[in-house]
Structure 1
Amino acid sequence: MMNSKMKQLLTALAISTAVVAAPVSSVQAAEKAASTVEQGKKLATSRSKGNCLACHMMGDGAMPGNIGPALIAMKLRYPDKQKLFDKVWGTPESQTVPNSMMPPFGEHGILSDDEISKIVDYIYTL
Structure 2
Amino acid sequence: MMNSTMKQLLTALAISSAVIASPASVQAADKGATAIEQGKKLAFSRSQGNCLACHMVADGAMPGNIGPALIAMKLRYPDKQKLYNKVWGTPDTQNVPNSMMPPFGQNGILTDEEIGKIVDYIYTL
Alignment-derived partner of residue 102 in structure 2: 103
Higher fraction of helix? 1
Alignment-derived partner of residue 34 in structure 2: 35
User: 5+ residue gaps in structure 1?
Assistant: 1-29
Amino acid at match of 1:68: G
Alignment-derived partner of residue 92 in structure 1: 91
User: Could you state the TM-score of these two structures normalised by the residue count of structure 1?
Assistant: 0.75
Amino acid at match of 1:53: L
Amino acid at match of 2:102: P
The Cα offsets for residues 15-49 of structure 1, whole Å up to 9 and x where unpaired, read as: xxxxxxxxxxxxxxx32x10000000000000000
Residues in 2 aligned to 1:72 and 1:100: alpha-carbon distance in whole angstroms: 19
Moved over 3 A (4+): none
User: 5+ residue gaps in structure 2?
Assistant: 1-29
Paired residues for 1:26-105 under 5 Å: 30-31=30-31, 33-105=32-104
Displacement after TM superposition at 1:59 (Å): 2.7
Alignment-derived partner of residue 6 in structure 1: none
Displacement after TM superposition at 1:95 (Å): 1.0
Residues in 2 aligned to 1:44 and 1:96: alpha-carbon distance in whole angstroms: 22
Residues in 2 aligned to 1:66 and 1:59: alpha-carbon distance in whole angstroms: 13
Percent identical across equivalent pairs? 79
Amino acid at match of 1:93: D
Residues in 2 aligned to 1:98 and 1:113: alpha-carbon distance in whole angstroms: 24
- After TM superposition, the structure 1 stretch with the greater mean CA deviation from structure 2, 72-81 or 94-103, is 94-103
Residues in 2 aligned to 1:59 and 1:73: alpha-carbon distance in whole angstroms: 11
Displacement after TM superposition at 1:50 (Å): 0.1
